[in-house]
Amino acid sequence: MFQGIVIEKDEAGQRAAVQTLDEAQLPAGNVTVRVSHSTLNYKDGLAITGQAPVVRKFPMVPGIDFAGEVEESTHPDYRAGDRVVLNGWGVGETHWGGLAQKARVDGDWLVPLPSAFSPQQAMAIGTAGYTAMLCVMALERHGVRPGDGEIVVTGAAGGVGSVATALLAKLGYRVVAVTGRMEDADYLRGLGAADVLERAQFSAPGKPLGKERWAGAVDVAGSHVLANVCASMRYRGVVTACGLAAGMDFPATVAPFILRGVTLVGIDSVMCSRADRLSAWQRLASDLEVEKLGAISHAVGLNDAIALAPQLLDGKVRGRIVVDVNA
């Protein structure tokens, strides 16, 4: 028997609660993991609150991330005692996820946990930090170098933005953080941001082209924020887009792309290839200052995660929420 958050839905509506589960209830898979830590991501907040149709099958254990130790395995790459991490692959949406003390998954979805990180530190990174690393790698792949100019990071006080700010600053880029919570300015400067701007400057409809400023961008917002970032890119600047916190729409023109040669790169962390996942986690192990994870994250228990879900969606949570599933 083990504890986990379970989302159920019936005529009375959708609800989430911590329940006692039997291992026989776990879904099919060739690796069973004793979960140590999970996280609360934006998608998990949507699933727990029911504010968007994230969950496709009920009952569902949410949690798109987890870290832990292999308990049983028939997968050739894993054996009992191996430390592993999982991000995405529809876990917490169509397959029981990480906000429980046990998980059973396809071993192809797992990545060995780098020795540089404890399970708690790996979840302080989580899908948000792994996505941030994919954004950084995309900027590098498209030729953006530290000497090329400023990199703007939107939603900088959130999970993706916090890790992106820390990574880019460590790699020598001049980072300008954009946030709707200016009270977090000192926090963002502590992560390495050279400047902090108010989100209101980006969130209203803007001009097709603005003054050239950014050599690169990491955007978690979408909507007018992304459109305004694109409009202010330097010639041949690169924008990585990985979120929709401000909306799914993209009210822009083609002007930045056909007049300034701007590149817009979509970043998908859910179905990303295993090779790219391995590269991202290897880069995180070498490029992320582990001591900054303490400032970026704080730990809660399973019951606390349910209560925090609506606060996360309202933008009231800074950094990363690590869930100790055994607390």
257-270: pLDDT as tens digits: 999 999 999 999 98
Residue 33, pLDDT > 90, answer yes
Please answer whether residues 201 and 176 qualify as being in contact, where contact means their C-beta atoms are separated by less than 8 angstroms.
Answer: no
**317: pLDDT confidence band, cut at 50, 70 and 90?**
confident
| Spacing of C-alpha 268 from chain mean position | 10
pLDDT at 60: 97
Mean pLDDT value of segment 29-35: 98
Q: Is the pLDDT of residue 327 over 90?
A: no
320 is written with which tokens? 């990363």
Quick: pLDDT tens for 161-182: 999 999 999 999 999 999 999 9
Tens digits of residue pLDDT in 185-238:
999 999 999 999 999 999 999 999 999 999 999 999 999 999 999 999 999 999
Number of helices and strands (H, E) in the chain? 10, 15
pLDDT band for position 45 (cuts 50, 70, 90): very high
* Stronger pLDDT, 11 or 252, i.e. the higher one: 252
pLDDT digits (tens, 9 = 90+) for 53-97: 899 999 999 999 999 999 999 999 999 999 999 999 999 999 999
Q: Is 6 helix (H, G, I), strand (E, B) or coil?
A: strand
What was the pLDDT predicted at 242? 96
- Is residue 295 predicted with pLDDT exceeding 90? no
In this prediction, residues 118-142 reach a mean pLDDT of 96
User: In the CATH scheme, what is the code of domain 127-266?
Assistant: 3.40.50.720
Please name every residue paired with 150 in a beta bridge, in sequence order, or none if there are none.
Answer: 214
Distance between CA atoms of residues 163 and 305, nearest Å:
21
Up-side HSE of residue 166: CA atoms within 13 Å toward CB? 30
Please tell me the predicted confidence (pLDDT) of residue 205.
95
Return the pLDDT at 315: 81
Bridge partner residues of 10 (DSSP): 13
Where do the domains of the chain lie?
Answer: 2-113+289-324, 127-266
Q: pTM surpassing 0.85? A: yes
pLDDT of 8 strictly over 90: yes
> What pLDDT score does 316 carry?
84
Taking CA 219 as the corner, what is the angle to CA 39 and CA 159, rounded to the nearest 5 degrees? 20
Closest listed residue to residue 150, CA positions, set 36, 234, 274: 234
| DSSP string of 194-229, one letter each residue | SEEEETHHHHS---SS----EEEEEES--HHHHHHH
Which residues have C-beta within 8 Å of that of residue 146, sequence separation ≥ 6?
171, 172, 173, 174
Q: CATH: 3.90.180.10, 1.10.340.30, 3.40.50.720, 3.40.50.300. Which one for 2-113+289-324?
A: 3.90.180.10
Query: Would you state the pLDDT for residue 280?
Result: 97
List, for residues 131-170, the tens digit of each pLDDT value: 999 999 999 999 999 999 999 999 999 889 999 999 999 9
